[in-house]
């Protein structure tokens, strides 16, 4: 017995030593000076932007190897990997109905990306339709989307390689799954819209891996032909920044194209009526100052939703012959944000969110509300796909701590039928959700959700993770996260703050945290941390912050502006050098969100909060794990490289700063089943270790 005890002690001692065995890998300083107006900026790590140089690659390999050893040791100490693997347990995505079939993405291998499966009805067994290895056995193929032709004979599959945002399209014959010769490349941020014996798609120019994404074009591809024969449908020669969205109505009568000019702040919408003798693209609305989405048609009438600046969303119908005459069907609700409208033959589903509560409503085309259902807080409700004449549709519910549950909803009786429960390996009924509001720096009340186990004692020293997104008017929707459940099982608290910049409280809420108001978004997040400390949910020694993409920027800004509030910081795929962000990939599309260095006032605001430029020499910043992916061509990984290099290369920095770079992955991280678990174990293990170590 004593021998076993000594062996265990030795193991834990080894892992503990591994976790403490942190040695910064200093990157050499190579100053580059650049003048912005009257300010000289010295960038000591510009050389790391050349990710293909041998020196950069060597430094990244060393950083990644050290981080992997450190994180694996922590994972073993905290049981993070095994616990999250036990809690993950779901190996498939939600059922998606397209045409007569049901589709699903399923991890048929723990080491590969999901394969595409389908079945002919909800009672049938799923059959494999497309294995990613059929496309390539060398690249990591990620299926991003798929669309079925109107006659249900073909399926266009959109996929990417190794995590890149650049995509390709192949076509399958249904129901056999046979791959046809059609192969379209150079696709980016585009869906597929079928029409007749082919489909529309969008491309951008690709200059290099991180070059600016410019010159959007829309093409039509006819089945059985090569891409070089595809017909150019629309481009804007004099505006390389313009981008386009398009769709065909469910009966393929109308093709709709929307031109988005973010720089000038307007929308142009065009249509083509395929019942005309000579169908051509015609203007419908020109230089709209607010967004309109056309959803589908009902004979001659089109159903649309508008988002004027003073509205939360209005559903209406109109005729292309009188496009300025709108008939309101779904009225504005000033207490709820309109998330989605799904039209059917004589019913319309409308999904709202009010103060973190989803609301489902059913209308008829006369505008009568037939049904309304308010869901609990902090759940996501999605789905409702189907064909126009369907009577029943599927929808899905999930939360931070409950995996997806599938329901069938009757559009006429409004009956909800549970189709698929999900078993979990923890006591989900012991988990409590608490809604609250807290005051920000300027007195604005900000919503926040707390999640914790009912049985824990709120001592003021509870380990707590604070998270937010707060950008682009995005309405944050919870999804099941086994890492959060792992943290709650360890006695932790999870908090999500719906800060300004997000869309959770409407357009004004989003505008109040973007552009010249971006600092208010960061103020809201910092105020959330202060509130949680002041109200004895946690303390600075027990508080960690994390967020991804724009949420990662929020986290990094908070850490550089108020480092004394936090013990651990984990920004994921975050833009961190805000003076250089607009120069690469899609950064120029986000000038309205962040600003531009081409304007002096905007430059000063960016410099004031850019995390990379606000690292101070005499501060020992909290333990930091910076997570990125080598093929992230939305927020290039060198943002993370430069931030880590500058943090590490200071005498005062004694808390660990780690760089974790995932191979063959993009903006959304590892796409394999085990890779996803590894990422969550890295993040949540790191946080738990640093919040509980003594």
Residue numbers annotated as active site: 549, 667
- CA 456 – CA 468 distance, rounded (Å): 24
Angle at 590 between CA 628 and CA 40, to 5 degrees: 80
- CA 482 – CA 82 distance, rounded (Å): 11
Q: Hey, is 327 helix, strand or coil? A: strand
Q: Are 470 and 499 in contact (CB under 8 A)?
A: yes
94 φψ region: left (φ > 0), alpha (ψ -120 to 50), beta (else): beta
Among residues 267, 317, 265, 261, which one has the least CA distance to residue 294? 317
**Residue 623: Cβ within 10 Å count:** 23
Strand partners, 657: 624
- CA 95 – CA 102 distance, rounded (Å): 6
- CA 434 – CA 615 distance, rounded (Å): 35
Q: Dihedral, CA atoms, 650, 651, 654, 660, nearest 10 degrees?
A: 30
| Matching residue, tokens 């738990």 | 688
Angle at 565 between CA 564 and CA 570, to 5 degrees: 100
515 φψ region: left (φ > 0), alpha (ψ -120 to 50), beta (else): left
> Taken in order 613, 617, 621, 624, is the CA torsion positive or negative?
positive
Q: Are 613 and 43 in contact (CB under 8 A)?
A: no
> How are beta strands 392-399 and 405-410 bridged, if at all?
antiparallel
- CA 405 – CA 422 distance, rounded (Å): 6
Q: Helix 80-88 to helix 673-692 angle, to the nearest 10 degrees?
A: 130
Q: Hey, is 413 helix, strand or coil? A: coil
- CA 351 – CA 363 distance, rounded (Å): 11
């Amino acid at each position: 017995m004593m021998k076993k005890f000594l062996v265990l002690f030795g193991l834990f001692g080894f892992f503990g030593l591994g976790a403490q065995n942190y040695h910064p890998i200093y990157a050499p300083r190579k100053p580059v000076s650049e003048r912005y107006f009257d300010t000289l900026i010295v960038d000591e790590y510009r050389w790391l932007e050349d990710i293909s140089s041998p020196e950069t690659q060597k430094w990244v390999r060393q950083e990644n190897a050290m981080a992997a050893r450190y994180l694996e040791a922590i994972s073993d100490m905290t049981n993070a990997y095994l616990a999250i693997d036990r809690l993950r347990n779901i190996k498939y995505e939600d059922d998606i109905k397209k045409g007569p079939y049901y589709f699903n993405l399923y991890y048929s291998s723990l080491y590969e990306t999901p394969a595409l499966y389908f079945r002919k009805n909800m009672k049938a067994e799923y059959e494999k339709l497309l294995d990613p290895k059929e496309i390539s056995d060398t690249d990591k193929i990620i299926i991003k989307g798929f669309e079925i032709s109107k006659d249900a004979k073909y399926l266009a599959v959109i996929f990417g390689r190794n995590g890149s945002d650049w995509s390709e399209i192949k076509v399958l014959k249904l129901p056999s799954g046979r791959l046809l010769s059609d192969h379209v490349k150079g696709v980016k941020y585009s869906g597929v819209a079928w029409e007749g014996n082919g489909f529309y798609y969008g491309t951008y120019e690709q200059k290099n891996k991180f070059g600016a994404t410019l010159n959007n074009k829309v093409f039509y591809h006819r089945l059985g032909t090569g891409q070089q024969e595809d017909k150019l449908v629309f481009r804007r020669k004099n505006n390389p920044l313009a981008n386009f969205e398009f769709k065909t109505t469910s009966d393929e009568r109308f093709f709709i194209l929307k031109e988005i000019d973010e720089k000038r702040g307007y929308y142009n919408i065009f249509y083509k009526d395929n019942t005309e003798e000579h169908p051509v693209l015609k203007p419908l609305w020109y230089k709209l100052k607010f967004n309109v989405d056309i959803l589908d048609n009902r004979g001659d009438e089109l159903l649309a939703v508008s988002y004027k600046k003073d509205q939360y969303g209005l559903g209406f119908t109109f005729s292309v012959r009188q496009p300025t005459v709108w008939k309101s069907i779904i009225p504005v609700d000033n207490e709820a944000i309109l998330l989605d409208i799904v039209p059917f033959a004589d019913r319309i589903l409308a999904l709202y969110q009010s103060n973190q509560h989803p609301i489902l409503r059913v209308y008829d085309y006369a505008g009568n509300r037939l049904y309304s259902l308010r869901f609990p807080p902090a759940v996501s409700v999605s789905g409702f796909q189907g064909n126009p004449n369907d009577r029943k549709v599927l929808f899905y519910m999930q939360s931070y701590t409950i995996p997806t549950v599938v329901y069938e909803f009757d559009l006429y009786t409004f009956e909800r039928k549970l189709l698929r429960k999900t078993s979990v390996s923890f006591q989900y009924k012991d988990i409590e959700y608490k809604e609250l509001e807290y005051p920000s720096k300027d007195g604005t009340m900000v919503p926040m959700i707390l999640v914790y186990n009912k049985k824990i004692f709120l001592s003021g020293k509870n380990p707590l993770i604070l998270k937010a997104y707060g950008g682009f008017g995005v309405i944050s929707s919870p999804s099941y996260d086994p890492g959060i459940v792992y943290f709650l099982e360890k006695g932790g608290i999870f908090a999500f703050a719906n800060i300004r910049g997000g869309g959770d409280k409407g357009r004004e809420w989003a505008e109040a945290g973007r552009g010249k108001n971006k600092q208010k978004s960061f103020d809201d997040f910092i105020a959330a941390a202060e509130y949680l400390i002041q109200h004895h949910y946690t303390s600075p020694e027990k508080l960690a912050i994390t967020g991804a993409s724009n949420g990662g920027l929020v986290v990094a800004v908070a850490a550089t502006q108020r480092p004394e509030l936090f013990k651990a910081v984990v920004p994921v795929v975050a833009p961190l050098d805000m003076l250089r962000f607009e120069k690469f990939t899609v950064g120029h599309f986000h000038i309205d969100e962040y600003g531009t260095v081409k304007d002096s006032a905007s430059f000063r605001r960016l410099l004031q909060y850019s995390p990379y430029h606000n690292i101070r020499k005499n501060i020992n910043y909290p333990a930091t794990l910076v997570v990125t992916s080598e093929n992230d061509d939305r927020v290039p990984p060198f943002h993370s490289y430069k931030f880590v290099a500058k943090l590490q290369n200071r005498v005062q920095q004694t808390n660990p700063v780690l760089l974790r770079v995932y191979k063959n992955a993009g903006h959304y991280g590892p796409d394999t089943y085990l890779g996803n678990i590894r990422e969550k174990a890295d993040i949540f293990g790191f946080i738990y270790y640093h919040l509980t170590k003594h």
